[in-house]
Amino acid sequence: MNCKHASQVLSQSLERRLSWGERLGLRLHLLMCDACTQFARQITLLRQAVQRLVTHIEDDQQLRISEAARERIAKALSNQH
């Protein structure tokens, strides 16, 4: 596995479960490649940061849409179809 393929597989791992062969190939590549290992760490940190941000936004009452606004949006969307 080369670096380009490794970065693609790392990105795909955020969206789906990798096959056994993909996991093995990626693991072997990461043992030999410091740059891709660093990229894997960065992707992991970014994903964790986004998850914390989403949780924060969901918990912040000031950022929530009111029920009236939700109804207006739903009505507007249903009128478009």
Q: CA 23, CA 4: separation in Å to the nearest integer?
A: 15
Asked if residues 29 and 1 have their Cβ atoms less than 8 Å apart, the reply is yes
Q: What is the pLDDT of residues 16-39, one digit of tens each?
A: 999 999 999 999 999 999 999 999
pTM of the model: 0.65
- Does residue 45 have a pLDDT over 80? yes
Domain boundaries, the chain: 3-80
pLDDT of residue 81: 64
Would you list the DSSP string of 2-67? -HHHHHHHHHHTTTSPPPHHHHHHHHHHHHH-HHHHHHHHHHHHHHHHHHHHHHHHHH-GGGSPPH
Q: Hey, which of 8-17, 29-38, 50-59 has the most confident mean pLDDT?
A: 29-38
Place of tokens 């179809």: 81
